[in-house]
């Protein structure tokens, strides 16, 4: 597609292709368009995934036109192949090249994501304490669970305190709505609730909550 005339201001539109990882035509001269910075004159040697435009997912696995690109992230998959053998049909390789890991689909775990997780039923006066068999990153935590309930349930789903109990991360249901909150001496209390996605329809729902920094 031709470059826009520098004398004409146009709106962003979907009539031109989005180019990813490199350009399909010769790189333009920045002085011709009054740009202060030139486009990087080199195609990317790496992987791109989960590309979205205004909230819509763009399929980069099967583009209409491409050159030199291969479906899948070969360096990442090679790293998982060396360290983890294979993530199976219910898992995907993630975590980068230095610390690869298998992200299993909800409901699956274990070697090659081949073991179904076992659900547990809880009553009004029940609780569980789970010992974590691995060390936690002090600045990053990501928790995921599946929950199934009916009506407008209230109840604690998960509570994780910090090492010295000065901060905590909590996930709970309020009238069938999932709410996550974090409390600590520096940030105070922060909370978010997914009010537009009630979970009391009797189906399994996957809920993920994370803390960064």
One domain for residues 84 and 31:
no
pLDDT exceeds cutoff 60 at 9:
no
Number of domains, the chain: 3
One domain for residues 104 and 158:
no
Domain boundary among 18, 47, 71: 71
CA-based angle 55:109:171, to the nearest 5? 60
Average pLDDT over residues 118-142: 75
One domain for residues 61 and 83:
no
One domain for residues 82 and 60:
no
Q: Which domain holds residue 144?
A: 140-212
Residue 177: which of 203, 159, 151, 158 has the closest Cα?
151
One domain for residues 182 and 208:
yes
pLDDT at residue 1, as a whole number: 43
Strand partners, 116: 108
One domain for residues 3 and 64:
yes
pLDDT at residue 159, as a whole number: 86
One domain for residues 92 and 67:
no
- Asked if residue 131 belongs to a domain, the reply is no
Average pLDDT over residues 186-206: 85
pTM of the model: 0.52
One domain for residues 17 and 63:
yes
Residue 134 banded pLDDT, cuts 50, 70, 90: low
Q: For residue 90, what is the domain's CATH number?
A: 2.10.25
One domain for residues 103 and 163:
no
Structure tokens at 194: 């997914």
């Amino acid at each position: 597609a031709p470059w826009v005339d520098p004398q004409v201001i146009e709106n962003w539109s979907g009539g031109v292709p989005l180019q990813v990882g490199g350009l399909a035509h010769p790189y333009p001269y920045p002085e011709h368009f009054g740009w202060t910075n030139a486009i990087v004159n080199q195609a990317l040697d790496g992987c791109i995934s989960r590309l979205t435009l205004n909230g819509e997912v763009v399929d980069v696995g099967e583009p209409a036109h491409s050159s030199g690109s291969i479906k899948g992230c070969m360096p990442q998959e090679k790293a998982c192949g060396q360290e983890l053998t294979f993530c199976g049909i219910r898992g995907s390789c993630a975590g980068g090249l230095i610390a690869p890991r298998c992200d299993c689909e909800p409901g699956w775990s274990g070697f090659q994501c081949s073991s179904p997780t076992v659900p547990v039923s809880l009553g009004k006066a029940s609780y569980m304490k789970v010992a974590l068999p691995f060390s936690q990153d002090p600045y990053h935590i990501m928790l995921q669970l599946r929950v199934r309930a009916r009506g407008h349930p209230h109840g604690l789903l998960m509570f994780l305190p910090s090492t010295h109990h000065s901060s905590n991360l909590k996930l709970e249901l309020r009238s069938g709505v999932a709410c996550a909150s974090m409390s600590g001496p520096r940030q105070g209390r922060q909370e978010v609730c997914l009010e537009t996605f009630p979970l009391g329809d009797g189906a399994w729902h996957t809920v993920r909550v994370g803390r960064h920094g």
